[in-house]
Structure 1
Amino acid sequence: MGSDITGLHHVGHVVADLAGALDLYRRLGFAVPPPAYPAMAPREGAAPEPFGAVNAHADFARDFVELASPVRAEARLPDGATLVPLHAPPDVLPVLLDRIATTSANLAVCLDRFEGAHILMFSSADVDATADRLAAAGVRHGGVHTVHRPVRPDLVEAVRYLEVDGERPGLVAEGRVGVVADLDPAIQAVRVPEHPNGAVALVEAVLCAPAAGLDDLAARYTRYLDVEPVHDGPALVFPLGTARLVLLADHRLGELLPGERPVASPALAAYAVGVRDSAAVARHLRAHGVPFEVAGSGDVFVSAATALGVAVVFRQVG
């Protein structure tokens, strides 16, 4: 019987300045719409103010890349950002506020560690079955939650997910790791833009760790994914449908991406998106003043030093 995990759902890049990160991602060639900020009035009669956490997505047909940031009073709102006042029944509101506070606090913990990729979410065809399997395997998690996201005025998406617990609820050593129900293709089709860089999918996440801890990390992800890794050069690879998770010892990252070193360990050091034409990506980056490198594999990549703490790889597919 195969794993209930169907692929990568999204990676999340946690940033201090969402407005600046949006500008970077647009120069990288991603079409990312302005974010909507959750908002509440600080006191009766006052205007709603942003609070909690905010995100924006570069969407593809089956997955996406997320930009996420804890809301901070001093941070500037990106151009075009909107405020969405929070409404919930009285019996639901305290639970919702608690989840928002936990998410915001966890993002702040991640950001204090370093700016970069801290979120790794996998897709499941049956997230309830995944929750049961993880519990049976001794993996602690917070249970399956449901949140609702507006897609357009007449369409709301129900997102069902779980987060793996480490020393903090919802956080393990490398960040926020969890499982989300497969995206609804009909709903996702409403969101997916034509990205100027030709990106069509999230195809890889690269997780680095000290060499001495790599076997333990692999054992942990074997439990999470119910998939055995295979060796591919210096890496351990978990095949996940059309995507893959790559585990790599810190000192060997430069063998895949010349000049790269993880900014911390363990950490998501890189992610890759599939593109139609690597040469077109290179032309786009050059035209927008973004420095890039070319790996021995032919992949174009933007270094972590340029891309706010995570290397962004463009891999020609199809």
Structure 2
Amino acid sequence: MPHDITRLHHVGHVVSDMTRAIALYQRLGFRIPPPSVPTLAPREGAAPEPFGAANTHADLSRSFIELVTPLKPGDTTGLPPDARIVPLQAPPEKLPLVLSRIEATSAQLGRWRDRFEGLHILMFSSPDIDGTGNRLTAVGVAHGGVNTVGRPVETPNGVRTELVRYLEIDDAPEGRVGVVADLDPEFQHTRHLDHPNGAQDLVEAVLCVPDEQLPLTRERYERYLGRPTSAEGPVTLLTKSELRKLLPGAVPPALPALVASTVAVPDIARVRALLAQNGLPVHKTSRGELFVPAEAALGAALIFREI
């Protein structure tokens, strides 16, 4: 019987300064488009102002790495000058509800960023998001149900709306964990995939937990995935001592914590040369892959795996 969760959809790197984060990921060898900045009039008749959270993506073939930062209303500190303004609109009677939801999301991002700058979002991909929701409910995993949102996408024929269907799992201590419907093939041609580092896909997220929590965390993720966790991913669960073996010198900022992600590349020598040229420290994992440590990458180690 095929699994309804097969791989990662995206991880989210919560940062304090979007300009700095984009510059880092460019040095890591990714093409990063300008971030989207939502604006909303706080009351009827008022001028729109930045609100909620700004984000951008390092797009990969079937996944992406998200860079996201919470915004204070009207404050553009840390945003690049080419940030793309996305006006949000809501009927006056629905405006208070929209505002409260956006404020709650931004506040949560702020709490995660204050805990540590790094990975706080882990989303899996499913070809059958409704079936996944039903399975999670059946095995006792609480979640908020399947939601649908529209995302503006620039295409050769103008801006179109891509519908994104997702669910969020309740009360995951490591951050926002959930499942998203597989990326829509109709919009694949709009994605920026020609990264200088050759990155093709997001293949692993690494979660570090206290020793005593490892059995319960493993059981929890086995219920999320509908199968045993394994070395093949998409999520690797480690204790602090196991993390130090995988990533020599790594010190998790807090526990539990998403501490690293892994991207697949076709030419590791090309990656090594690019990182050295851009002045980034490069080490080897215990599995023989390259990685840039968290302290040089805004709190989130990045592993490069040759395929």
* TM-score, scaled to structure 2: 0.93
Shift of 1:144: 1.2
In structure 2, the CA distance between the partners of 1:9 and 1:92, relative to structure 1 (3 Å rule), is: farther
What do you get for the CA RMSD once the two structures are aligned?
Answer: 1.7
Shift of 1:95: 4.4
Letter in 2 for 1:124: S
- Aligned equivalent of 2:9: 9
Match of 1:271 among 261, 268, 292: 261
* TM-score, scaled to structure 1: 0.90
1:203 aligns with 2:208: no
Deviations 1:79-105 (A, max 9, x none): 310211112345654544343222212
Q: Secondary structure at the match of 2:56?
A: strand
Task: For 1:4 and 1:101, locate their aligned partners in 2 and report how far apart those are by CA, in whole Å.
Answer: 32
Identical counterparts, % of pairs: 54
Task: For 2:189 and 2:218, locate their aligned partners in 1 and report how far apart those are by CA, in whole Å.
Answer: 34
- Aligned equivalent of 1:234: none
Contact map agreement 1:61 1:185 (CA 8 A) in 2: no
Contact map agreement 2:16 2:78 (CA 8 A) in 1: no
1:309 aligns with 2:299: yes
Q: Secondary structure at the match of 2:6?
A: strand
Deviations 1:133-167 (A, max 9, x none): 1112111111111110111234210001111111x
Task: For 1:81 and 1:92, locate their aligned partners in 2 and report how far apart those are by CA, in whole Å.
Answer: 27
Match of 2:281 among 278, 291, 309: 291
Instruction: Tell me which moved more, 135-144 or 68-77.
Output: 68-77
- Aligned equivalent of 1:146: 148
Deviations 1:93-141 (A, max 9, x none): 4544343222212111211211110000001111111111111211111
In structure 2, the CA distance between the partners of 1:129 and 1:90, relative to structure 1 (3 Å rule), is: farther
1:54 aligns with 2:54: yes
Task: For 2:176 and 2:229, locate their aligned partners in 1 and report how far apart those are by CA, in whole Å.
Answer: 21
Residue correspondences, number: 302
Q: Secondary structure at the match of 1:199?
A: coil
Deviations 1:164-220 (A, max 9, x none): 111xxxxx2100000000101231231133001111100111111011110000010
Shift of 1:271: 0.5
Task: For 2:94 and 2:270, locate their aligned partners in 1 and report how far apart those are by CA, in whole Å.
Answer: 48
Task: For 1:106 and 1:299, locate their aligned partners in 2 and report how far apart those are by CA, in whole Å.
Answer: 33
List gaps (5 residues or longer) in structure 2: none
Task: For 1:189 and 1:139, locate their aligned partners in 2 and report how far apart those are by CA, in whole Å.
Answer: 35
Instruction: Tell me which moved more, 295-304 or 93-102.
Output: 93-102
